[in-house]
Amino acid sequence: MTRNVAAKTTEKSETTKRKAQPKAQPAAEPEISENSDSEEVVQEEEQPQEDPITTMHNGIIEMCSMMSKLAQRITQDTKKAEREYQLEKKRMEKAISKKGGKEKKKRNGSTGLDKQLPIKTQEFRQFVEKNYQQLNDKDGNQVITELSYDDDGSLLISRKKALQFVTAYVKHNDLQQYEDKKRIKMDKTLQKLFPNNAEQKEKGKVTKEENFSFVSIMGALSPHLTSSSDAAEE
């Protein structure tokens, strides 16, 4: 009888303890919004797509802007170049005015040296007619390929050709015998043609030494050629 009472007492106490302990609440489940999927879809749909026409329009505007800047830069460079040109022009005008206000004439490529002139001495005419076929220039070309005469029968030659002819004669006959190769050792032909440059003796003594060089050929030719003024008067 006592055991049954004790057992009942124990069961009551355990039942009391169970009632005293709070019941465990179930874990709260996350709230699932029914509109979450639809909101994501709406957000994706709200992103605007690029319009190709708008893109092209923006590109054209940007290109026009770049071209405008380039045009401005070219205009600035052009103005700068124009200013520099005007300054240089003024300097040149001042320089010319200081020299007397006359600008040197430009040569057109032809000079009086190329004009055909009559040979007026028999010595030089014979010299040319005798040697013209065998005398060549430094390039191996014949100095005078064909003789030319005027209506009076005078042999024609330019000062330039005459200079080349005598120079070719000197080299053909190896008359550069001095250490100074600009000097010419005159042979009998050159002594006869240019007596003022040849050695002169009086009573066996040298009164004037030979003085002939490539520099003096042009001056020595003057007595043999008709001058331009004489040819104009004729």
Specify the CATH number for the domain of residue 226: 1.10.245
Whether residue 217 contacts residue 193, with contact meaning beta carbons closer than 8 Å, is answered with: no
Residue 196 lies in a domain: yes
Whole-model pTM? 0.53
Domain count, the chain: 1
Place of tokens 């240089």: 88
R_g of the chain computed on alpha carbons: 58
Residue 141 lies in a domain: yes
Residue 139 lies in a domain: yes
Nearest C-alpha neighbor of 117 from the set 165, 157, 164: 157
Residue 37 lies in a domain: no
Q: Residues with Cβ < 8 Å from 6, sequence gap 6 or more?
A: none
Residues in the chain: 234
Give pLDDT, residue 213. Answer: 94
**Residue 220 confidence (pLDDT) above 90:** yes
Residue 55 lies in a domain: no
Residue 194 lies in a domain: yes
Relative orientation angle of helices 159-172 and 122-131, to the nearest 10 degrees: 60
* pLDDT mean over 73-80: 88
Strand, helix or coil at 207? strand
**Residue 79 confidence (pLDDT) above 90:** no
Give pLDDT, residue 16. Answer: 55
Residue 17 lies in a domain: no
Residue 183 lies in a domain: yes
Domain residue limits at 167: 112-233
Give pLDDT, residue 27. Answer: 54
